[in-house]
Amino acid sequence: MERPSRPSPSPPVQPTPSHDDIEKGSRRPCHKSKIPPPPPQPKPWKPWLMPLAFVANTSVFIYTMYVNDCPHTSGTSKCILYEYLGRYSFQRFKENPLLGPSYITLKKLGGLDWTQVVEEKEYWRLFSCMWLHAGLIHLLINMLSLLGLGIRLEHEFGFVRIGPLYMISGFGGSLTSVLSLARKRIVSVGASGALFGLLGSMLSELITNWSNYTNKCSALSTMLLIICLNLAIGFLPRVDNSAHIGGFVSGLLAGFVLLMRPQYGYISSKHVPEGYQIKHKVAKHQVHQYVLFGISLVLLITGFAVGLQRLRRP
């Protein structure tokens, strides 16, 4: 989906006479144009954090398959593609239909398990599970989403904003997932919570920066359709939709906080050439942006605090 275009800001300004103009007795300033050139557009960021996350996720999956060692733990007859992959061969479909390791291996390496998190107090699993994947199919789907959404957002907003947003979304997805497991013997893994958070942040960015966009309704309806389709996939068997929803809501709220832009028409004083004066100044941010910022920040902190408290007292 293509992002809607933004118009280039160029509010009306009027030049003010300089000291030299007054001494020469001129009635008008000697500027060739009454309107200064528009301020320079922000330079796009060069993405590196999301590609690094791609490498990290892929490397962790390779290491997971190395530790799994299907031929020695399950026997060569129960491994898929043993003749070609050897130690890195997959568990049989009956155990893992996603072409991956055993759930024992995923749990050992940091998968999200209710007993380990709540009873054993291994809270680090809320972060470690984000870098594990249940299988090759799971990894491919998530990495395609990461390259499509993550790099695009980092290119526009930079790693300083997208990095924290990715981690907040992943943590929110993990927290929601472990609370929904409630003593079930299920191991949850994957970057899906963080990726759904990126999707949610795209929606909040569109809403909070509404004045900067053209064809708003078309962009909003298209984005809502994509979100609904992705959430619907979460109701398929073996998919942890609670992590998707938790990550999406966390990313949506974090987007209101981290992705707020100056409104259309705002020009910073450092971009106004000497000798010019802005006739109609535009505020940097609109009231609704500050309101959404404050409400989202409070909800995000409160939600995490309540969730962590419930983990301590199940």
Q: Is residue 224 included in any domain, yes or no?
A: yes
Residue 112 tokens, joined: 């999200």
User: Would you state the pLDDT for residue 10?
Assistant: 47
Q: Is residue 79 included in any domain, yes or no?
A: yes
Show the CA angle centred on residue 210, arms to residues 205 and 215, nearest 5°.
110
User: Would you state the pLDDT for residue 197?
Assistant: 96
Residues 6 or more apart from 115 whose CB is under 8 A from it? 183
Average pLDDT, the chain: 84
The amino acid present at 87, given as its one-letter code, is R
Distance in angstroms (rounded) separating the CA atoms of residues 121 and 278: 58
Q: Is residue 260 included in any domain, yes or no?
A: yes
Note if 138 is an active site residue: no
Range in 42-51, 190-199, 278-287 the model is least confident about: 278-287
Q: How far is CA 125 from CA 18, 142, 241, 250, in A?
A: 65, 19, 18, 18
Note if 18 is an active site residue: no
User: Would you state the pLDDT for residue 41?
Assistant: 64
Residue-wise pLDDT for 283-293, tens only, equals: 677 888 999 99
The CATH number of the domain holding residue 263 is 1.20.1540.10
pLDDT band at 271 (very low <50, low <70, confident <90, very high): low
Of the candidates 102, 192, 204, 250, the residue annotated as catalytic is: 192
Q: Is residue 30 included in any domain, yes or no?
A: no
Q: Is residue 274 included in any domain, yes or no?
A: yes
Q: Which residue has the higher pLDDT, 262 or 76?
A: 76
- The mean pLDDT value for 15-27 works out to 46
Residue 94 tokens, joined: 């009956």
Distance in angstroms (rounded) separating the CA atoms of residues 179 and 175: 6
User: Would you state the pLDDT for residue 222?
Assistant: 81
- Residue 257 in this model has a pLDDT that exceeds 90: yes
Number of helices and strands (H, E) in the chain? 14, 4
Distance in angstroms (rounded) separating the CA atoms of residues 241 and 282: 43
Residue-wise pLDDT for 184-199, tens only, equals: 778 999 999 999 999 9
Q: Is residue 24 included in any domain, yes or no?
A: no
- Are 240 and 190 in contact, with CB atoms under 8 Å apart? yes
Q: Is residue 74 included in any domain, yes or no?
A: yes
Of the candidates 138, 244, 250, 296, the residue annotated as catalytic is: 244
Q: Is residue 6 included in any domain, yes or no?
A: no
How many separate domains does the chain show?
1
Expressed as residue numbers, the domain containing 167 is: 43-312
Q: What residues does 91 pair with on adjacent strands? A: 79
User: Would you state the pLDDT for residue 33?
Assistant: 46
Residue-wise pLDDT for 66-82, tens only, equals: 999 999 999 999 999 99
